[in-house]
Amino acid sequence: MRYLVVSYSHKNTDITVREKLAYNDENAKRNAMKDILAVEGANEVILLSTCNRVEFLISASNTSLVLDEVFMTLHRHSGLSVEELEGRADVYEDEGAVHHIFAVASSLDSLVVGETQIAGQLKEAFRFAYENGYCGQKLARVIHFAFKCAAEVRNTTDISKSPVSVASAAVAQAKEIMGGNLGGFTGLVVGAGEMSRIVAQHLVASGCNVILFNRSMERAKMIAEEIGERIDVEPFHALEEFINRYRLLFTATGAPETIITDEMVQPAQFQRHWFDLAVPRDIDVIADKSVRIYAVDDLQSIVDSNLALRREQARRAYEIVGRYTQEFFKWLQSLMIDPLIKAIRLQAKEAALAEVKRAVKKGFIPPETEANVERLVHNAFKKFLHAPTKKLRAVADKPGADTVIEAMKFVFEIDTEIKMGDKYKCEFIMKDDIK
């Protein structure tokens, strides 16, 4: 079993490319993961698609074939050439893949280092894949360890102290534009997902009034009631009227196409600042010079400032990620050692019992002594296997453990895929309190 991650993020693609790669439709996600799992050697897959990244997290026995299918799947989905996809991708395998997943879960690979939203996004990506049968024990192990790692990073460093998300960075940018104070201003917020909710919360906390728009009025009203003050809800069809009346607009929907077009914009005597936090983007190209549009990538100045403040904390956090990566593979090797020892002992026991029964049948030993002879032979095999068993347990922590394990499986003709049963059960899927 091997691990593979194919990653497209703010580090290797701009928003124009990311919006082509983004999976905002559940059926499209299902089809992509089905295509990956149809390849020989592919075992499990998770698809993580956010405004800043599109990643396939894969368990496979043949990473080369699976990698080719990932590029073909993305080519069919995005229309981008396979050559461009291969050139842009960051590809991680085995230890590198697990290290990357742990870093993502700990928000070290985010556009805004230390932001908290990625944890929920990774959680939902895993839940979706798990509940639809696209991943199970192999990736569940990684995700389980990833959130243990993220918890330690969060609890032992200040990387998430006064956490900054893309949403809060947008509000901070708006505050700077408006002279450092949003009190008395009104901000339009479009969408009722997690990003929009965070934007609305930060706006209200900054003294700004909020008008919320969403196709589902019921969902919008739930968010308004949760926030509680200085927030109103208007019907989605009224959006065109309101965007021409107010300076600030924040939009973060899951719409597959733009929802604010050039035709909707009317001339105004004031400068408007619109923050498009969606991928694909919600706002079309606007000709009116009084409208300034800020996409996710335009928040880089706040991101750079955030990174500078947290660089030392990030160094400490990466040390934790490195340690958890090592611990994960040691633990994984120990999981393989125990079933291997059990299988070897079972072979020895079955051989002993078979020979005793054959001896009784041939008349070599009297039937009344069969039980005692069985115990004698079984104890002899246990004593014989004691030293090899001890050495196998000791080797579990060594770098060459995989080679030893595979050699032992070959010598004793044990199945290449040792069945673990319910020895390991991912707690993550059972809990909603992991943030």
pLDDT at 234: 96
- 407, pLDDT greater than 70: yes
Q: Among 40-49, 87-96, 244-253, 299-308, which is the least confidently predicted range?
A: 299-308
pLDDT at 396: 64
Active-site residue 51, yes or no? yes
pLDDT at 427: 44
- C-alpha distance from residue 12 to each of 59, 166, 214 (Å): 23, 18, 32
Task: Tell me if 2-163 shares its fold with 166-304.
Answer: no
Separation CA 90–CA 86 (nearest Å): 9
If pLDDT is split at 50, 70 and 90, which confidence band does 165 have? confident
Question: Could you state, in order of their start, the residue ranges of all structural domains in the chain?
Answer: 2-163, 166-304, 337-411
pLDDT at 231: 95
Strand order in the sheet with 272-276: 231-235, 209-214, 186-190, 248-251, 272-276, 291-295
DSSP 107-123: TSSSSSTT-SHHHHHHH
Burial class (CB in 10 A: 0-12, 13-18, 19+), 353: middle
Q: Which of 51, 135, 149, 208 is catalytic?
A: 51
In sequence order, what are the residues at sequence separation of 6 or more whose Cβ sits closer than 8 angstroms to the Cβ of residue 1? 43, 59, 60, 61, 138, 417
pLDDT at 308: 65
Fold assignment, 2-163:
Beta Polymerase; domain 2 (3.30.460)
Residue-wise burial string across 238-271, b where 16 or more C-beta atoms lie within 10 A, e elsewhere: ebeeebeebbbbbbbbebeebbbeeebbeeeeee
CATH code for 166-304? 3.40.50.720
Mean pLDDT of the chain: 87
pLDDT at 399: 56
Contact 252, 275 (CB under 8 A): no
Mean pLDDT of 416-420: 46
Q: Please name the residue that has the structure tokens 């989905």.
A: 77
Mean pLDDT of 232-256: 95
Tell me the residue type at 405.
Answer: I
pLDDT at 307: 62
pLDDT at 394: 76
**Bridge partner residues of 290 (DSSP):** none
